[in-house]
């Protein structure tokens, strides 16, 4: 499942081919993914793509008519750009561009999302995304925000990190990695973290996500770049998927796997307190 670094990487990869191009035609081959696809009515009008942006794990294809096409890749969604279109199983939506290139949305499990939403002004975000927490690289995402998020919250810190209304962009893989870097046990109640620990955690979130973006994300199971290449961050993962390995930091602990809120969680029982 793509997380923030992967989505950022995808945005960078598709941006040069899409910005300033007109969408001539949209073809939709299935009624709904996770939610109904509401872009069928756009078949006729031409719209120019003026920006490709990201908010949390959403890709925003901004059009010159104050609308954005919101794309969420869900579990198995992927985007590719090709000319001519080479039909593959699970190609659900095609965006035909004015230069005969096609942006293709493919999704075998159909947990993704493609929706057209109005925006108030250029560069704004649609209402649907207003509830999301600040972006990890924004000024609003500071230590005070993190302290507020953890205060009085009994649920484990790993689950708090994965709540998009509290912290945006930390999915399952990077939650384990961030907590390992911070030396914080994933099952610790959020309120039990000291201000100093929160400071370290805050820094770790940014470091891990930036490193992952630089490496082009991780390639795990279904995720690949639009050009088919793999992200390199997989090689830098230190706990995720490392069950049974000796901890690369303390050299004593054996990386342990557990389930939290139904998701695989990895940690070192020796150096994460």
Binding positions for Zn ion, rule: CB under 5 A: 247, 249-250, 253, 268, 270-271
Q: Which is nearer to Zn ion, 133 or 179 (CB)?
A: 179
Known active-site residue 187: no
Tokens of 10: 């995808």
Strand partners, 70: 60, 115
Known active-site residue 2: yes
9 Rama sector, left if φ>0, alpha if ψ -120 to 50, beta otherwise: alpha
Query: Which helix H or strand E contains 17, and what residues bound it?
Result: helix 4-18
Q: Which is nearer to Zn ion, 112 or 253 (CB)?
A: 253
Tokens of 22: 């007109």
- Smallest gap from Cβ 17 to Zn ion, in A, equals 43
- Smallest gap from Cβ 58 to Zn ion, in A, equals 35
* Cis peptide preceding 84, ω within 30 of 0: yes
Tokens of 40: 């069928």
Give DSSP secondary structure letters for 180-233. HHHT--TTSBGGG--HHHHHHHHHHHHHHHHHHHHTT-B--TT---TTSPPPBG
Known active-site residue 21: no
Q: Which is nearer to Zn ion, 163 or 249 (CB)?
A: 249
- Smallest gap from Cβ 236 to Zn ion, in A, equals 16
Give DSSP secondary structure letters for 111-179. --EEEEEE-SSTT---GGGTTSPPPTTSTTSSHHHHHHHHTT--SBHHHHHT-TTTSSS--HHHHHHHH
Q: Which is nearer to Zn ion, 92 or 185 (CB)?
A: 185
- Smallest gap from Cβ 67 to Zn ion, in A, equals 49
- Smallest gap from Cβ 215 to Zn ion, in A, equals 22
Residue in 6, 55, 57, 158 annotated catalytic:
57
Q: Which is nearer to Zn ion, 69 or 268 (CB)?
A: 268
Known active-site residue 88: no
As annotated, the active-site residues are 2-3, 57, 263
């Amino acid at each position: 499942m793509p997380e923030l670094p992967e989505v950022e990487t995808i945005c960078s990869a598709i941006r040069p081919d899409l910005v300033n191009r007109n969408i001539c035609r949209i073809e939709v081959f299935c009624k709904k993914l996770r939610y109904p696809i509401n872009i069928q009515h756009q078949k006729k009008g031409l719209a120019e793509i003026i920006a490709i942006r990201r908010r949390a794990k959403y890709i925003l294809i901004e059009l010159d008519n104050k609308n954005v096409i919101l794309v969420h890749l869900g579990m198995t969604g992927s985007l590719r750009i090709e000319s001519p279109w080479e039909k593959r199983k699970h190609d659900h939506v095609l965006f035909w561009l004015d230069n005969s290139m096609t942006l293709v949305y493919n999704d075998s499990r159909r947990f993704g999302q493609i929706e057209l939403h109005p925006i108030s002004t250029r560069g704004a975000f649609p209402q649907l995304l207003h509830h999301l927490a600040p972006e990890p690289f924004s000024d609003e995402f500071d230590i005070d925000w993190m302290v507020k998020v953890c205060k009085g919250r009994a649920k484990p810190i790993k689950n708090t990190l994965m709540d998009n209304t509290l912290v945006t962009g930390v999915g399952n893989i990077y939650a384990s990695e961030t907590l390992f870097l911070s030396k914080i046990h994933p099952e610790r109640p959020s309120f039990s973290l000291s201000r100093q620990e929160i400071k370290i955690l805050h820094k770790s979130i940014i470091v891990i996500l930036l490193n992952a973006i630089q490496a082009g994300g991780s390639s795990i199971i279904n995720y690949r770049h639009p050009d088919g290449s793999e992200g390199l961050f997989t090689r830098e993962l230190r706990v995720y998927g490392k069950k049974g390995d000796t901890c690369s930091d303390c050299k004593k602990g054996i990386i342990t796997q557990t389930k939290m809120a139904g998701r695989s969680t990895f940690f070192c029982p020796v150096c994460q307190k």
